[in-house]
A and B are shown apart, each in its own frame.
Chain A
Amino acid sequence: MSELARKLDAGAFVVTAEMPVIDGGGISEVLRQLEPMRPYVDAYNATDNPAAHAHASSLAVSLALLRAGAEPIMQLSCRDRNRLALQADLVGASMHGVENVSCMTGDDVGAGDEPQAKRVFDLDGPQLIALARGLTRGRYLSGRALVPAPRFVIGAVENPGAPPLEHRVRRAAKKALAGARFLQLQLCFRPELLERFISAAFELGLCERVALIPSVCILRSARAMRFVAEHVPGIEVPASTLARVEQAPDAEEECFELAFELASHALAQPGVAGLHFISFRKDAGIAKLCARLGIPPRSERESDGHRAPLAV
C-alpha cells in the first residue's frame, strides 16, 4: 500500500505538492526540484501536460520520483489519450510500482500553446476513475482478465470555485462513487467558495468517503497572478486580490502572505484531510509555508501521529 493510502486510511494529515513541469535537464532536474520539498511532502503530483502544454510525461516523471525514493501521484488526463492509451499507461505505471493516480478530464487544448491539436476526450474524468477501479479488480474495460490485478490508490480533482457552484459537490460525489479515494481541489482564490464546497461535502457525508485536499499556490509576482487569472481555465482571481499584490512593495512577499491566509482558511474547514501545494518560488517556499502554518515536517508528523484537523 502506498504511504499516501496508509496515511489517508489512518486519518493522518497529508501534504502533497505539485512537481514543477520538467522539460530538459534529465533526472537531475527532477532531483533538484524535489530536494527543497522533501522534508514536508508525502507525495508529489507528476502532472500530465498541464494547461495543455507538452512536457515530460507524467509516467516518466513518476518513474523518476520513484527512483529518487519519493512517492508520485501520477496524473492522467482524458484530453490526450483514448481508452486504450489510458489503460496502457495505468498498467505500465503499475508495473514500475506507481500506485497513486489522479484521474481528470483535463484542460482543453485551446488553453495551451498547441491549440491546433486534436482533443480526444474519449472518456471523461468520472469514467476514467471507474476504469482505473476496474483494473484494480482485475479487468480491462473490455472484460479481459488482468492477473494479478494492479494496486491503485485512485484520486481525482474537483474545482470548488467553478459554476455550477451549487452542484459542484454532486460531481465530487459522483467521483467518489466511481472510486476516488481522494480529491485534490483546484486552486481557489475565493475562500468563501471553498468554504461553501467543503461544508456541502461535509453535510453530504462525503468527507468520510473521500479525502478532500484543497490546493494552495505560492506565486512570485503580480504578473504571474494575472497570468493565472487570465489564462488558467477555471480559476478566478478577485480584482481586489490582484490589486493587493500589484500594489504591494514586495509582490513576492505579498503572494506568500496570501498563500498563508488561504492555507490557514483551508485548514480551518471541517473534514479537510490535507493540503496540496504548488510553489513557483526559487527557494523552499513549501517548507517555509508549512513551518509558518505549524505543519510539522514529515518525520515529526509520523512520530507524533499528527492528525487531520477534523472537526467532528
Chain B
Amino acid sequence: MSAGEVVAEGVAAKLLARVEHAIKGPLWGCQMCGQCVLHSTGLTCPMTCPKTLRNGPCGGVRPDGHCEVRPEMRCVWVKAYERADRLPLWREHIDELRPPVDRRLEGSSSWLNLLSGRDRERPAGWEAAEAHV
C-alpha cells in the first residue's frame, strides 16, 4: 500500500467514525467505544452507564430504578432489560458474558471494526477465563 493509500484509508476511517457518531450519538448516546454491543443490550448503550458496565446493573440501583451515580437518570440496565424483552431478536443475548473492552478501539468506527472482525478479537487469555468446563 502506498503512503497515499494509507493516508486515504485513515481519512476514510475517521470520516466513517464521524458519520457513525452523528447517527448513533443522538439515537443511543453512543460513546464511540468502537466495539458496539447495542443489539445484545436491548438497543441501550452500556457505555452510557457511569461505570461503563457491559454485563448488567451494579448493586447500587436506587429503589425507583434510577442510577446510583446520576440520580436524575434511569439506570441504563433497567432500561436494557425492559427493551431486550420487547425485541423480536437477540432477546437472550443480554445474558451473555461480554468480554472486557479493548480501550484501543475508543473513538474508532464500530462498523469498520465489525467488517474487519477487529471487534471480535479477544485477549488470548479470555478464552481460558470464559470457557465453562
Of the 9-residue stretches B10-18, B33-41, B118-126, which lies at the interface with chain A? B118-126
| Interface residues of B, dominant DSSP | loop
Chain A residues with Cβ under 8 A from B68's Cβ? 107-108, 110-111, 233-234
Output the least CB separation between B60 and chain A (Å). Answer: 3
Q: B107 within 8 Å of A by Cβ?
A: no
Q: B63 within 8 Å of A by Cβ?
A: yes
Q: Given A108-B50, A167-B81, do A157 and B59 touch, yes or no (CB 8 Å)?
A: yes
In contact, B51 and A121 (Cβ under 8 angstroms): yes
Q: A270 within 8 Å of B by Cβ?
A: no
Among A79, A106, A121: residue with most chain B CB under 10 A: A121
CB-contact partner of B125 in A108, A144, A159, under 8 A: A144
Q: Given A143-B125, A234-B68, A236-B63, do A124 and B53 touch, yes or no (CB 8 Å)?
A: yes
Assembled-state Cα–Cα distance A74/B23 (Å): 44
Output the least CB separation between B34 and chain A (Å). Answer: 15
Assembled-state Cα–Cα distance A126/B68 (Å): 19
In contact, A105 and B95 (Cβ under 8 angstroms): no
Chain B residues with Cβ under 8 A from A234's Cβ? 58-62, 68
Q: A130 within 8 Å of B by Cβ?
A: yes
CB-contact partner of B129 in A130, A173, A236, under 8 A: A130
| Residue of chain A at shortest CB distance from B79 | A164
Measured as residues with beta carbon below 8 angstroms from the partner, the interface class of chain B is 35 or more
In contact, A134 and B59 (Cβ under 8 angstroms): no
Q: Given A141-B126, A164-B65, do A126 and B55 touch, yes or no (CB 8 Å)?
A: yes
Q: A48 within 8 Å of B by Cβ?
A: no
Among B50, B59, B100: residue with most chain A CB under 10 A: B59
In contact, A134 and B55 (Cβ under 8 angstroms): no
Q: A123 within 8 Å of B by Cβ?
A: yes
List which A92-121 residues lie within 8 A (CB) of chain B.
104-108, 110-111, 119, 121
In contact, B128 and A162 (Cβ under 8 angstroms): no
CB-contact partner of A138 in B50, B124, B128, B130, under 8 A: B128
Per-position contact with A for B57-85: 1 when CB-CB < 8 Å, else 0? 11111111100110000010110011000
Measured as residues with beta carbon below 8 angstroms from the partner, the interface class of chain A is 35 or more
Chain A residues with Cβ under 8 A from B50's Cβ? 108, 119
Chain B residues with Cβ under 8 A from A170's Cβ? 56, 81, 94-95
Output the least CB separation between A231 and chain B (Å). Answer: 11
| Residue of chain B at shortest CB distance from A232 | B60
In contact, B128 and A105 (Cβ under 8 angstroms): no
Assembled-state Cα–Cα distance A112/B82 (Å): 30
Chain A residues with Cβ under 8 A from B104's Cβ? none
Output the least CB separation between B63 and chain A (Å). Answer: 5
Q: B86 within 8 Å of A by Cβ?
A: no
CB-contact partner of A164 in B57, B95, B130, under 8 A: B57
Output the least CB separation between B95 and chain A (Å). Answer: 6
Assembled-state Cα–Cα distance A104/B56 (Å): 12
Assembled-state Cα–Cα distance A173/B129 (Å): 16
Q: Given A83-B100, A162-B57, do A134 and B51 touch, yes or no (CB 8 Å)?
A: no
In contact, A127 and B100 (Cβ under 8 angstroms): yes
Assembled-state Cα–Cα distance A119/B56 (Å): 18
Assembled-state Cα–Cα distance A141/B95 (Å): 22
Q: A247 within 8 Å of B by Cβ?
A: no
Chain B residues with Cβ under 8 A from A289's Cβ? none
Using a CB–CB distance below 8 Å, which chain A residues touch chain B? 78-79, 83, 104-108, 110-111, 119, 121-127, 130-131, 133-134, 137-144, 157-159, 162-164, 166-167, 170-171, 173-174, 177-179, 186, 233-234, 236
Given contacts A143-B123, A167-B56, 15 further A-B contacts (CB under 8 A): A105-B58, A106-B58, A108-B51, A122-B101, A130-B97, A130-B130, A134-B126, A137-B129, A139-B124, A139-B129, A159-B59, A159-B61, A163-B75, A164-B65, A173-B95
A-B contact pairs, 24 of them (CB 8 A): A105-B51, A105-B53, A108-B68, A110-B69, A119-B50, A121-B52, A124-B55, A125-B55, A130-B130, A134-B125, A139-B128, A140-B125, A142-B123, A143-B123, A159-B59, A162-B57, A162-B59, A162-B63, A163-B63, A164-B75, A164-B82, A166-B81, A234-B58, A236-B63
